[in-house]
Structure 1
Amino acid sequence: MNTESNGGPESAEGDAGPAEQPLGSRAPHFIKRSRPLHLSWQVGVFLVGLAVVVGGVIMLPLPGPGWVVIFAGMAIWATEFVWAQLVLRWAKRKVTEAAQKALDPKVRRRNIILIGIGLAIVVALLAVYVWKFGFAMPWSVGE
C-alpha cells in the first residue's frame, strides 16, 4: 500500500490537527539494522528514561517539577517503545480535552460561581471569628 510508504497512513479528510508520527522505534537506521545493537540501544533508552522517571517521582513530595520530569522520562521512553508513545498520546489527548472543557463558557461560569460561593463562606467564617474573638490569633484565644 502506498499510504504507509511515507511514514504512516494519511487522512483523506485533511485534518486540521497535526499528523501524529507513526508508532515504533526512532533509533537511527544503522542501529536498527543490527539486532544486538538495537537491543543495546533499547536497554540504554530504557535505563535513561527510568532514571528520569525515578527522579521525577522523587521530586513529587520534594520541591521541584516532579510531573514535568516524569513526562520527560516518558518522552524519552517514547522514542523507542510503542507503549510509552500510546501513553503520551493518551495524556496529550486528555490535557487537550481538559483545556477545551475549561474554556467552555458554561464550565467557566460554574467555576466562577463556585469560587464566589467559597469566598463568601470564608469571609463569613472570618467575620464570625473576628466578631466572637476579636483580632486574637487562634493560639492565644484561651488566654
Structure 2
Amino acid sequence: MNTGSNGPGEVAVAADETKTDGAPEGREQGLGSKAPEFIKARRMLHLSWQVGVFVIGLAVVVAGIIMLPLPGPGWVVIFGGMAIWATEFVWAQLVLRWTKRKVTEAAHRALDPKVRRRNITLTAIGLVIVAAIVGFYLWKFGLVMPWKIKDQ
C-alpha cells in the first residue's frame, strides 16, 4: 500500500489492489469501473462515460443478435459487446466470469477420453445414417433435385 501524501486518491488506489474477496489482483481483476481516474473523479463525466459505454455495448450486442441468423460471427460479437459493458458494469463482469467458467468446464468435459469416444461414436453413427439416406435417395431417384421429382 502506498503511503504518499496524495490524500483521498490513495484510499481508492489501495482499495483497487485487492478483489472483493480479499485475493490479490494478480489472479483476477476486481469488479467495478475500469474508467480512468480523472473520469471517475467527476460525477457527471463518469455518468456520461457509463452512458457512452452502454450505448456502444448495446450497438455491438444488437449487431451480434442480427448476425445470429445471418452470416457472421454472431456469438463472438455478442460476447464482444458484453466485454465492452464489462469495462464499466459489475453485472456484465459477473456474466462474463460465469460464461468463461461454463465454457472452460465444457471444454474440460469435451476433452475427457470417455466423452470424446462417445462423441466420435455418435458422429460416426450419424454419418452412417446420413450416408444411408443419401444412398437410398440416389438409388430411388438418381441425381434429380426433390422439386423436379414427378409422381412415379
Instruction: State percent identity of aligned pairs.
Output: 66
- TM-score scaled by length of structure 1: 0.82
Q: C-alpha separation between the residues in 1 aligned to 2:141 and 2:60?
A: 52
* Structure 1 residue 140, shift from structure 2 partner: 3.2
* Structure 1 residue 130, shift from structure 2 partner: 4.1
Q: 1:127 to 1:41 in 2, by over 3 A?
A: closer
2:33 aligned residue: 25
Q: C-alpha separation between the residues in 2 aligned to 1:80 and 1:52?
A: 15
Q: C-alpha separation between the residues in 1 aligned to 2:143 and 2:79?
A: 46
Match of 1:120 among 128, 132, 140: 128
- TM-score scaled by length of structure 2: 0.78
* Structure 1 residue 142, shift from structure 2 partner: 3.3
Matches within 5 A, 1:49-60: 49-60=57-68
Q: C-alpha separation between the residues in 2 aligned to 1:46 and 1:130?
A: 54
Pick 1 or 2: higher relative contact order, CA cutoff 8 A, min separation 6.
Answer: 1
Q: C-alpha separation between the residues in 2 aligned to 1:75 and 1:62?
A: 22
| SS at structure 2 position matched to 1:72 | helix
2:23 aligned residue: 10
What's the C-alpha RMSD, in Å, of the aligned pairs? 2.1
Question: Which stretches of structure 1, 4 residues or longer, exceed 6 Å deviation after superposition?
Answer: none
* Structure 1 residue 102, shift from structure 2 partner: 0.6
Partner amino acid, structure 1, of 2:46 = H
Q: 1:134 to 1:41 in 2, by over 3 A?
A: closer
- Give the unaligned 5+ runs of structure 1: 12-17
Q: In the comparison of the two structures, how many residue pairs are matched?
A: 134
Q: 1:128 to 1:57 in 2, by over 3 A?
A: closer
Contact map agreement 2:16 2:30 (CA 8 A) in 1? no
- Give the unaligned 5+ runs of structure 2: 1-13
Matches within 5 A, 1:1-143: 6-8=17-19, 9-10=22-23, 19-131=27-139, 133=140, 135-137=142-144, 138=146, 139-140=148-149, 142=151
Partner amino acid, structure 1, of 2:47 = L
